[in-house]
Amino acid sequence: MGGESVVESVSAQVRSAVRERVRATAIDLMLEDGFARTTVERIVAATGLPRRSFYRYFGSREDLVLGSTEEQVAVLVAALRSRPADEDPWRALQQAAEALPDAGHAPERSLQVARLVEAAGELRARQLEKHVAWRGALAPVLVERSLSDAVPLDLLSAHALVAAALSCLDVAAEQWMADGGVGRLSDYYDRAVRAVRR
């Protein structure tokens, strides 16, 4: 049993390394030629990954850039559930978002990807779909977390709170991009949240 877990761990590490290598190469191509012109055929030709394997690693080109919605939802829900019960929901949501794998990327790369998303309608549409999925998963967790509060959140209020937090993130990202990626995106998010809560 111990040997199996080591093999599974190595396999997961190899899979993750291949995914990151393909993703980095594909994003470089997209930054050069645009999202629409960077086809799956071009990506597999540049990376040597067989076409059939591309779809085992990524559901689509949009997911290659933005990540898997299902994986992100699982990470966000687990991270939000692990936050201290008495933590402010705005803070808990922000800390949960920090658990996403892309949260640790270099600022220059994050800025490049953000600009790529801004320039491609397909990516913006997928990002909106992701936010709807995140909201649907996170709102019930906020309700659960508030059950011991004097005034627990109802589901509508929890949905509104998550939607507001995601809007703050969108506005923060827009201004961060406009400022050339100077400073930390989390600082921009904090400013946006303070404005909403004022």
DSSP states along 77-122: HHHHHHS-TTS-HHHHHHHHHTTSGGGGS-HHHHHHHHHHHHH-HH
Type of residue at 13: Q
C-alpha torsion 185→57→139→149, nearest 10: -80
- The reported pLDDT for the residue numbered 131 is 96
Full residue range of the structural domain in which residue 28 is found: 1-58
- The reported pLDDT for the residue numbered 136 is 98
Nearest to 125 by CA among 175, 170, 62: 62
Residue where one domain finishes, among candidates 12, 37, 58: 58
Over the chain, what is the mean pLDDT?
A: 91
Mark the ranges of the chain whose per-residue pLDDT is less than 50.
1
- The reported pLDDT for the residue numbered 84 is 93
The most distant pair of C-alpha atoms in the chain lies apart, rounded to whole Å, by 59
Count of domains for the chain: 2
Nearest to 103 by CA among 64, 75, 122: 75
Residues 105 and 164 in one domain: yes
Residues 111 and 188 in one domain: yes
CATH number of 118's domain:
1.10.357.10
Residues 25 and 64 in one domain: no
- Tens-place pLDDT, residues 111-138: 999 999 999 999 999 999 999 999 999 9
Residues 122 and 102 in one domain: yes
Rounded to two decimals, what is the model's pTM?
0.86
Residue where one domain finishes, among candidates 22, 39, 58: 58
Residues 67 and 49 in one domain: no
Rounded-to-integer distance, Cα 95 and Cα 138, Å: 13
Residues 159 and 71 in one domain: yes
Residues 45 and 65 in one domain: no
Residues 48 and 68 in one domain: no
Q: Are 149 and 89 in contact (CB under 8 A)?
A: no
Residues 47 and 134 in one domain: no
Residues 48 and 12 in one domain: yes
Residues 106 and 173 in one domain: yes
CA angle 126, 28, 189 (to 5 degrees): 50
Residue where one domain finishes, among candidates 42, 58, 74: 58
Residues 88 and 165 in one domain: yes
CB 31: neighbour CB atoms within 10 A? 15
